[in-house]
């Protein structure tokens, strides 16, 4: 517990998500605020300092970042870097005594997730994932249907999380060293999340397939992946993730009806319906809700809606999917 009313957050990596979603959301948060920045691009320092009134002493780069340990105005470090840098900066933040929010995917393999969790436990700091949907009303409604068995047992769950990436072949998401993988590491994590909160269970087995139509563009990273899951309850699940298809949906067929979100994981607005009718919730910035929920977890000891263990669990499934793909499919003559 902290005596502060509002926690200071430092964003690490001032790319598009920090610039267009997180920093604007931090202007509306009640329990935290944008206190500092960490950037490798010196020209961004002045722009951000002017735009958000960030004092000079709260601006860091990747080399002097560890000095953040002695800065009492920064309580939380939010890692918004390319995936392969999540582990290093989450660990350095924990070692500096700061609470950590780590963007999805948590890291590029399970071993790195373990290292982040261990570092945070050792330092006695909180660890949350950037899984914004858990703070959002449509997703919370799905979780309630599942917990209350509103539509009975779930028999089938399907989730698609995909977008079409045509531009900029130089982007880090296509570079395996920086991304750790393609569509699965990026949007696939949302589809994995959907089938889990859409059933309330972790899958127990998977069979997965990878498809490539533009290998000249997706040279190192997966373009499209489908995977089928088995759950202990007898439910079956199916996901599709892609950098070559547009789709964003969660659908569950249940014993006594169905529920659906489409879109299911975009920022706003989400939309949904069930066999009983349309869903209609107020739309608020998911990032605002998410960062306030994490701050409340620290300040008021409310539950951590997306703990590090959840990020690790998803990475276990990512690795199982890649492993299944490596075993290959059966050609149809």
Q: What pairing do the DSSP bridges indicate for beta strands 59-60 and 76-79?
A: unpaired
Residue 188 as a binder of ligand NDP (CB under 6 A): the answer is: no
Residue 103 as a binder of ligand NDP (CB under 6 A): the answer is: yes
190 noted as active-site residue = yes
| Least spacing, CB of residue 135 vs ligand NDP, in Å | 11
Residue from 9, 35, 68, 80 touching ligand NDP (CB under 6 A): that is 80
The stretches of 125-188 forming alpha helices (DSSP H) are 137-148, 176-179, 183
Query: Cα separations (Å) of 18 from 103, 136, 137, 229, 301?
Result: 11, 19, 23, 33, 26
Q: Which of 237, 225, 202 is nearest to 309 (CA)?
A: 202
Q: Which of 175, 183, 159, 192 is nearest to 263 (CA)?
A: 159
Map residues 123-152 to x or -, x wherever contact with ligand NDP holds by CB under 6 A.
-------x-x--------------------
Residue 237 as a binder of ligand NDP (CB under 6 A): the answer is: no
Number of residues that bind ligand NDP (CB under 6 A): 21
Q: What angle do CA 100, 196, 160 make, to 5 degrees?
A: 100
Where does this chain touch ligand NDP (CB under 6 A) — which range of 12-20, 114-122, 154-162, 299-307?
A: 12-20
Residue 261 as a binder of ligand NDP (CB under 6 A): the answer is: no
Residue from 2, 27, 30, 41 touching ligand NDP (CB under 6 A): that is 41
- Of the residues 78, 138, 145, 190, only one is catalytic, namely 190
Q: What angle do CA 113, 115, 120 make, to 5 degrees?
A: 100
Query: What's CA 241's distance to the chain center, in Å?
Result: 15
Where does this chain touch ligand NDP (CB under 6 A) — which range of 14-22, 108-116, 142-150, 269-277?
A: 14-22
For ligand NDP, the binding residues (CB under 6 A) are 13-18, 39-41, 44, 80-83, 103-104, 130, 132, 172, 178, 186
């Amino acid at each position: 517990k902290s005596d502060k009313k509002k926690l200071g957050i430092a964003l690490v990596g001032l790319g598009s998500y920090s610039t267009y979603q997180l920093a604007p959301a931090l202007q509306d948060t009640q329990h935290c605020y944008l206190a500092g920045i960490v950037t490798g691009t010196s020209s961004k320092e002045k722009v951000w300092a002017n735009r958000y009134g960030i004092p000079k002493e709260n601006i860091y780069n990747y080399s002097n970042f560890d000095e953040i340990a002695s800065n009492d105005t920064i309580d939380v470090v939010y890692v918004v870097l390319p995936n392969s840098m999540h582990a290093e900066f989450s660990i350095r933040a924990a070692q500096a005594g700061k609470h950590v929010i780590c963007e999805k995917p948590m890291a590029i393999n399970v071993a790195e997730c373990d290292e982040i969790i261990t570092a945070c436990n050792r330092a006695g700091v909180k660890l949350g994932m950037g899984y914004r949907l858990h703070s959002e009303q449509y997703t919370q409604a799905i979780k309630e249907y599942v917990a209350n068995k509103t539509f009975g047992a779930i028999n089938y769950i399907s989730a698609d999380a995909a977008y079409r990436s045509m531009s900029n072949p130089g982007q880090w998401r296509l570079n395996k060293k920086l991304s750790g993988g393609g569509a699965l590491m990026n949007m696939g994590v949302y589809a994995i999340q959907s089938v889990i909160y859409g059933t309330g269970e972790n899958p127990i087995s998977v069979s997965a397939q990878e498809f490539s139509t533009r290998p000249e563009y997706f040279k190192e990273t997966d373009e499209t992946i489908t995977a089928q899951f088995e759950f202990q309850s007898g439910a079956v699940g199916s996901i599709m993730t892609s950098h070559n298809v547009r789709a964003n949906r969660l659908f569950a067929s249940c014993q006594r009806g169905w529920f659906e979100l489409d879109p299911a994981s975009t920022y706003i607005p989400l939309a949904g319906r069930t066999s009983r009718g349309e869903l209609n919730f107020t739309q608020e910035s998911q990032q605002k809700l998410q960062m306030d929920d994490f701050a409340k977890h620290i300040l008021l000891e409310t539950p951590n809606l997306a703990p590090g263990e959840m990020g690790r669990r998803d990475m276990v499934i990512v690795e199982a999917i890649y492993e299944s793909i490596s075993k290959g499919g059966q050609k149809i003559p």
